[in-house]
Structure 1
Amino acid sequence: MEMGRLKAGWRCFNRSFNVEAKAGSRSIVLHWLTWIFPLLLFTLISANFSAGTLLELPIAAIDHDHTTLSRKIIRNLDAGSHAQVNIYQDGIEQALIDLRSAKIYALLYIPHSFEADVLAGRQPSPVLYYNGLFYGAGLYSTQDYPGLISELNQTYSQILATAIGHPLPPLAQVNLSYESLFNASGNFIYYQLFAATIHLLQLFVVTCTIYVLSRRKMLLKAKPFSLALMGKLAPYTIGYTILLMVEIAALVIYSGARVNGNPLFMLAIGFCYVMAAQSIGLLLFTFTKDIITAYTLIGLLVGIAMTYSGIAVPELSMPLAAQIIANIEPLTHALYALFDIFLRGISATSVLYVCGLLVLYPLATAFLVRKRLPLRLHGEDIR
C-alpha cells in the first residue's frame, strides 16, 4: 500500500514537472525571467567592476589658490586610477549642485593662500567631500586622496625641518596587520559584485514564482496537490541553481576571482537558497488579494534584504530588532555562508547547518499556505 502511494506521488510530481518544463520552455516571459535578463544584468554589473573596483569616477576641483602646490595636488589626484578630476571655474555653488545630482561623486576644495600656509607651517586643510548617498561610487572616488596627502605631508615636513634648522623627531615604527571581511579592501569582485549576484537572484526567483503560480490554475486538479506544486516549482529551482553556479563560474573565469572553499558546498547552499526564495514568492502570492499587489511587495522585500542582510550595514552594528529582522531573511544566512566558501572555506558541518536553516523556510511556508493556497488559485486573476 505504502509503495503504491509512493509511486502515485512520484507520478504526480513527475507529470507536473514535465508539464511545467515544457510550458516554461515555450514561454518567452519565463526565458527572460529565468536566464536572459539575469545574465544581461550580471554582465552589465560585471563590466562596471571589470578592473576589480570602480575607476575614473568624475570629481570636481575648486582651486582658490592657483599655486604650484595646488596644481600638483589636482594633477596627482587626476593621475590616480579612481578619480577623473574636472576643474570647476563657475564656483562652488555649481559643484554642489552637480554633487547632489550625481554628475560628480566628490568635490576637492583648496582654500586661498594654501601653499603659503603650508610653507609657513600653519597646516591648512584641503578638503575632499563625497556624496554619502552613493556609497560605493562616492567613497571609491576618494581612494587615491589619503595616500596623496600623506606623501605631500612627508615631503613638506622635510622642507620645513630644513628651513628651521632642526631635524624631525623620530617616529615610532608601527606595523599594522589586519584581515577584513566586511571591507573588501577595494576589490568589488570579492564583495559588492558577488553580493549583488546573490541579491538579484532572489529578486528573479520571487518574481518568477509569482508569475508561474498566477498562470497555473490547472494545478488544482492534480492529486496530491502538494507534490504537484513541488513539481511545478522544481524546474525553476534547478534552473536558478544552475544560473547561480554559472555566474559564480563567470566571476572565477573572466574576473579573476578565486573560490577558496569547496564549490560543491556552494551548489548545496544555492539549491536550498533558491527553495527559500521560492517560499517567499509563494507567501506573497498566497496572502495578497491580486497579482499586482504581490509584485508590488517585491520592492519592499528587496529593500529589506538590502538593508538587513549585512551588505549596507554590518549585522553586529545593528540594534537587536534589526538583527532579528536580518536573521528572519533567508538571504542573510545564504550570503554569509556563500561568502565564507568564496573567501576562505568552511566545514561540511557548517554547510549542513545553513542548509538546514534554509530548508525550514519552505517547510514553514507549506504549513502556512496549505489551506489558503487552493482558495487563492480560485481567484479571478489566475489563469
Structure 2
Amino acid sequence: MENRRLILDFWHRFKDAFNDEIPDIFKRFTFHWLMWILPLIIFVIISSIFYRGVLFDLPVGYVDQDKSTLSREIVRDLNAGAHANLFNYDNQLESAERDLEKAKIYAILYIPPNFEADVLAGRQPTPMLYYNALYYSAGLYSIMDYSGLIASLNTQYRTTMATSIGLPVPKLAQVNFNYDGLFNASGNSMYFQQFSAVVHLLQLFVVTTTIYILSRLPKRTRPNYPFVLGKLAPYTIWYTMLLMFEIAMLVLFSDARVSGSPFAMMLVVFFYVIAAQSIGILLYSFTKNVLDAYTYIGVLVGLALTYSGVVVPELSMPWIARFISSLEPLTYALNKLFDLFLRHSSYISVLKTCAILMIYPIIITVLVRKRLVKRLHSQ
C-alpha cells in the first residue's frame, strides 16, 4: 500500500510538471532557436554538403620518376577513374607534400625510378599512394580507385612474366564470398556521413536545452525529482520527433532505403535522447554555474565526434580509444540506427541497445541524486 501511494505521488508530481511545462515551451524565443530553427538550418547545410553523395574528381598529385609505359598507364588509368583528378608535379615531391598539407590536393601518387624494369624482372617495386588523413572522407575517396587498378595490373603482368620465363600460371583458389551490408564508414557517404552528422548534432541541442531548462528551475528539494523529470519529458518527445523527421527527410530527398522497422528506429532515438538528457543533467550538476556547463558541451561533442566512429572507424582505433568509444551513447545509437537502415535488425537487438542506453540515466541518477539538489539550491 505504501509503495502504491509513492508511485501515485510520483505520477501526480510528474504529470503536474509536464502539464505546467507544455504551455511555456514556445513562449521564449530561445526555445525556438534550440528546438527547431538551428537544428533544421544545420540539417539543410549538412544536406547541401552531401547532396552529391559520393565525392568525385578530387585533386591528386603524382610524381613519376620512371616515365615508362607502365608508369604512364597507371597514371592514365587512375585519372580515368571517377574519384581522382591527377596533376603532374614532375620531380617536385616536396612541392606536392606542401600542397598536401594545405589541402590543395588530397593524395600523392609516387612512382619510383626503374619501376617498369623492376616489375618485369620480378623485383616487386612499390608505387606509393598516400593521403592526408586529417581530411578523412575526401582523402579516402581520392584513393578509392587505386586498389582495383593495382589488382588489375598485377593480374595482367603476372601472366606476362609467367609466359616470358616459360612457366604455366598456377590456378587461383576458387573462393565464394558471402556478405551482408557491413558497417563501413567509407562505403556510402550518403548513408553514413550525413546520417551520422544529423544524429550526432542532435545530442548538442538536447544537452544544451537540458542545461537551459535546469537553470530556470526554482529551488526544489530532494522529493521533487518527479518535478524535474516532468519538466524535461516534453523535450524528450519533441527531440525524438525532430530526429525522426530529419531521418524521414533524409530518406525522402536522398532516395535512401530503410530495411528495418521505423518503429524500432523511433524506439532507439527515444532512448538516445534520454541518455543525452542525462548527460546534460550530469554537466549541470557538477559545474559551478551555467556558463561552465555550456563550456563543457564542446568537450562532450568533440569526444563524441572523435570516438563514436563518425570520423575514424572503430576497428582502426587503439584499445584505449575503443574503450572511450564504448562510453559514448552516440556509439550505440549510431550503430543500431545505421544497422536498421541496412538490414532487418531483430527487436531483441533493438531492445538490447535501448537497455544499454538506459544505463546512462540510471548511473547518472545515482551520481547526481544529492549533487543536483545542492546545485538547484545554489542558483
What range is the shorter-chain TM-score in?
A: 0.7 to 0.9
Unaligned 5+ segments in structure 1 are none
Q: State the distance in 2 between where 1:132 and 1:6 align.
A: 52
C-alpha distance after superposition, 1:103-140 (max 9, x if no partner): 22210012234344445555433211122333332222
* SS of residue matched to 1:59: strand
Quote the residue 1:227 is aligned against. 226
Cα 1:220–1:52, aligned 2, differ >3 Å: closer, same or farther?
Answer: same
Q: State the distance in 2 between where 1:286 and 1:267 align.
A: 29
Q: State the distance in 2 between where 1:6 and 1:280 align.
A: 23
Quote the residue 1:132 is aligned against. 133
Quote the residue 2:115 is aligned against. 114
- Alpha-carbon shift at residue 228 of structure 1 (Å): 3.2
Between Structure 1 and Structure 2, how many residues are aligned? 373
- Alpha-carbon shift at residue 96 of structure 1 (Å): 0.9
Quote the residue 1:169 is aligned against. 169
Q: State the distance in 2 between where 1:44 and 1:357 align.
A: 32
Cα 1:171–1:46, aligned 2, differ >3 Å: closer, same or farther?
Answer: farther
TM-score of the pair, normalised by structure 1: 0.83
* SS of residue matched to 1:232: helix
- 2:25 alignment partner AA: A
- 2:304 alignment partner AA: A
Q: State the distance in 1 between where 2:66 and 2:370 align.
A: 74
Say whether residues 1:269 and 2:268 are aligned partners: yes
8 Å contact from structure 2 (residues 275, 329) kept in 1: yes
* SS of residue matched to 2:63: strand
1:116-265 matches, within 5 Å, as 116-119=117-120, 122-160=123-161, 164=164, 166=166, 168-179=168-179, 181-183=182-184, 186-214=187-215, 216-217=216-217, 219-220=218-219, 225-265=224-264
- 1:299 alignment partner AA: G
Q: State the distance in 1 between where 2:349 and 2:122 align.
A: 57
Quote the residue 1:281 is aligned against. 280
Quote the residue 1:35 is aligned against. 36
8 Å contact from structure 1 (residues 307, 313) kept in 2: no
TM-score of the pair, normalised by structure 2: 0.84
Q: State the distance in 2 between where 1:231 and 1:14 align.
A: 4
Q: Could you say what the CA RMSD is over the residues aligned between the two structures, in angstroms?
A: 3.2
- 2:174 alignment partner AA: V
Quote the residue 2:17 is aligned against. 13
Q: Among the aligned pairs, what percent are the same residue?
A: 50
- Alpha-carbon shift at residue 265 of structure 1 (Å): 0.8
Unaligned 5+ segments in structure 2 are none
8 Å contact from structure 1 (residues 276, 330) kept in 2: yes
Q: State the distance in 1 between where 2:112 and 2:329 align.
A: 50
* SS of residue matched to 2:191: coil
Q: State the distance in 2 between where 1:90 and 1:293 align.
A: 53
Q: State the distance in 2 between where 1:4 and 1:66 align.
A: 83
- 1:201 alignment partner AA: L
8 Å contact from structure 1 (residues 315, 326) kept in 2: no
